[in-house]
Amino acid sequence: MSVESNPGLGYAQGALSLSFPTIAAEDPPEHPGLPNPQRLLAFLTIAMAVAMAVLDASIVNVALPTMARELAIAPENAVWIVNAFLLAVTVSLLPLSALGDTIGYRRVYVPGLALFTLASLACALAPSLPVLAAARALQGFGAAGIMSVNIALVRFIYPRSKLGQGLGNVALVVAVSSAGSPSVGAAILAVASWRWLFLINVPIGLIALLLAVRTLPMTPRSKRTLDPASIALNALTFGFLIVGVDGLGEKGALAVPLAELAAAAAFGAAFVLRQLRQATPLLPVDLLKRPIFALSLATSISSFAAQSLALVALPFYFQDTLGRSATATGLLMTPLPLATALIAPISGRLADRFPPALLGGLGLLVMGAGLALLAANVGNPDDVSLAWRLAICGLGFGFFQSPNNRLIIGSAPPERSGGAAGLQSSGRLIGQSFGTALMAVAFGRAPEHATSIALWIAAGMTAIGACASALRRA
């Protein structure tokens, strides 16, 4: 693999090339990736953008009551500030990942980052709910442009021998951003209005955009074409799925959400059947036929569902049952993302030397043990006891994610990196949505024991994921 650069601005002098390095379509056993400092700066733009995109998926939750009051809207309508973003991300991830395979990942990532930044400004200035929901949808489409190809880009930023290290760094950013979003939101709201939840993205986005334009590599293109019918079926499948799952947690009859889930299943079946007949499917069924890929994706979904159950259940338990303040709750939750941040880069490096399937399975077992210990400890208000159990959960989660992501991206051909990245991000969102919906059902059906039920279910999910991981051979 060759990396072309402007000969007048050589990397030996550490300068940034104004021409974009092009990576050949073939992916031999070893490729050099990008040289430093370009590799470091290229990863920095990935990290900044991914952190913003992941944070904005849930950071708004803590501000919904305040936003509803200021915009004079009913609480049940305020949820569309969250749902508009989630729907836009979910329905566009696979089409954008396929587009990345077609035109190159950089050509999807940079416009997505630009749209996300501009939409963040529009969110901050929105005078009403309709305007804010529309801006959030645009922000979601921009976030999908980032998340659909970020892992695919990492494959060309790092050499193959350090792919686990690169993916470990991405896993650190995703896990910490996801787990730390409530604390970050609370910290911003403590000193500024809710509009700064979005305004803070603007300077960060502009810096990331400048770095992206100057450092990200041009990647190979494929000859695939996009099928409009597949794009429509994808949107209908995931749209009904997200709305239906969200409806399960609402009070009242279950007829409507169950009908929405049935519609999602029907459209999903039609979607899959259409993909099986296509040479270049939008839904990467060719990748799902690979046992390692399919099992790794399944374990990813189960791990994020388990994490989501814990992250939603525990703040309510800390505040409503133990009487902790919002600030104290944020501090109590800190051991989980902190432990994840400490172990994810280490597990990524280990995945370059040892079997990732073994490492991932061990991580899930540790995470499950931590969740079981938390479930058994419900009713004990001792902070130290809670903290070390949360730290075990974080260690297991971080130890699992990096090797698992390496298997997902490494088991796909280079020209299908976009499809692999899109499925990986879709799996994370599906897992988080499923976990949140289960938590809402637990709150609605068994409020007195909701936390304990949720944590035991989460522990069971990690056990199932560990069994799936054991079936892998890589």
pLDDT in tens, 249-278: 666 667 888 898 899 999 999 998 998 888
User: Would you place residue 436 in the very low, low, confident or very high pLDDT band (cuts 50, 70, 90)?
Assistant: confident
Looking at residue 252, its pLDDT comes to 66
pLDDT exceeds cutoff 50 at 401? yes
Q: What percent of the chain has pLDDT over 70?
A: 87
146: confidence class by pLDDT, cuts 50, 70, 90: very high
Q: How many CB atoms lie within 10 A of CB 439?
A: 25
Distance CA 260, CA 258 (A): 5
Confidence (pLDDT) at 200: 92
In terms of average pLDDT, the best of 30-39, 204-213, 217-226, 316-325 is 204-213
- The residue to which tokens 């049935």 are assigned: 262
Q: What is the mean pLDDT of residues 58-62?
A: 73
Which residues make beta-bridge pairs with 23?
3
- 286 vs 208, more confident: 208
User: Tell me, what's the pLDDT at 434?
Assistant: 78
Is the pLDDT higher at 5 or at 228?
A: 228
| Residue 25 clears pLDDT 50, i.e. is over it | no
Phi/psi at 451 (5° precision):
-65, -45
Instruction: Give the domain 32-218 fold.
Output: Growth Hormone; Chain: A; (1.20.1250)
The mean-pLDDT minimum among 7-16, 35-44, 240-249 falls in 7-16
Q: Would you state the pLDDT for residue 320?
A: 76
Domain residue limits, the chain: 32-218, 229-283, 284-474
Nearest to residue 337, comparing CAs of 263, 390, 412? 390
On the question of pLDDT at 158 being above 80, the answer is yes
Greater confidence, 63 or 394? 394
Is 385's pLDDT higher than 50?
yes
Distance of CA 128 to the CA centre of its chain: 28
pTM value is: 0.71
Mean per-residue pLDDT, 176-203: 83
Give me the mean pLDDT over the 282-286 stretch.
80
The Cα-based distances of 112 to 136, 141, 145, 188, 395 in angstroms read 14, 7, 4, 25, 32
Q: Higher confidence at residue 248 or residue 281?
A: 281
pLDDT at 8: 33
- Reported as a pLDDT band with limits 50, 70 and 90, residue 173 is confident
Task: Name the fold adopted by 284-474.
Answer: Growth Hormone; Chain: A; (1.20.1250)
- Give the whole-angstrom CA distance, residue 299 versus residue 311: 18
**pLDDT tens, 412-435?**
777 676 777 777 777 877 887 778
- Cα separation, 76 vs 62, whole angstroms: 15
Of 63-77, 188-202, 447-461, the one with minimum mean pLDDT is 63-77
Tell me if domain 32-218 and domain 284-474 are identical in fold: yes
Per-residue confidence (pLDDT) for residue 137, from 0 to 100 = 93
Choose from 29-33, 276-280, 301-305, 448-452 the range with maximum mean pLDDT: 301-305
Q: What's the 3-state SS for the chain?
A: CCECCCCCCCHHHCCCCCCCCEECCCCCCCCCCCCCCHHHHHHHHHHHHHHHHHHHCCHHHHHHHHHHHHCCCCHHHHCHHHHHHHHHHHHHHHHHHHHHHHHCCHHHHHHHHHHHHHHHHHHHHCCCHHHHHHHHHHHHHHHHHHHCCHHHHHHHHCCHHHHHHHHHHHHHHHHHHHHHHHHHHHHHHHHCCCCHHHHCHHHHHHHHHHHHHHHCCECCCCCCCCCHHHHHHHHHHHHHHHHHHHHHCCCCCCHHHHHHHHHHHHHHHHHHHHHHCCCCCCCCHHHHCCHHHHHHHHHHHHHHHHHHHHHHHHHHHHHHHCCCCHHHHHHHHCHHHHHHHHHHHHHHHHHCCCCHHHHHHHHHHHHHHHHHHHHHCCCCCCHHHHHHHHHHHHHHHHHHHHHHHHHHHHCCCHHHHHHHHHHHHHHHHHHHHHHHHHHHHHHHHCHHHHHHHHHHHHHHHHHHHHHHHHCCCC
Phi, psi of 314, rounded to the nearest 5 degrees: -65, -40
- pLDDT at 197 > cutoff 50: yes
Measured CA to CA in angstroms, residue 468 lies from 163, 267, 299, 364 at distances of 23, 27, 7, 10
Q: 76 versus 471: which is more confidently predicted?
A: 471
Query: CA separation (Å) from 390 to 306, 313, 331, 370?
Result: 13, 13, 12, 7
Q: Please state whether the peptide bond connecting residue 37 to the residue before it is cis, i.e. omega within 30 degrees of 0.
A: yes
Alpha carbons 441 and 23: distance in angstroms, whole number: 48
pLDDT above 60: residue 2: no
Lowest mean per-residue pLDDT among 4-8, 117-121, 314-318, 442-446 = 4-8
For residues 123 and 146, give the distance between their C-alpha atoms in angstroms, rounded to a whole number: 18
Q: Is the pLDDT of residue 19 over 80?
A: no
Measured in degrees and rounded to the nearest 5, phi and psi for residue 192 equal -150, 170
Residue 390: band (very low, low, confident or very high) from pLDDT cuts 50, 70, 90 = very high
Q: What percent of the chain has pLDDT over 90?
A: 23
Alpha carbons 172 and 339: distance in angstroms, whole number: 10
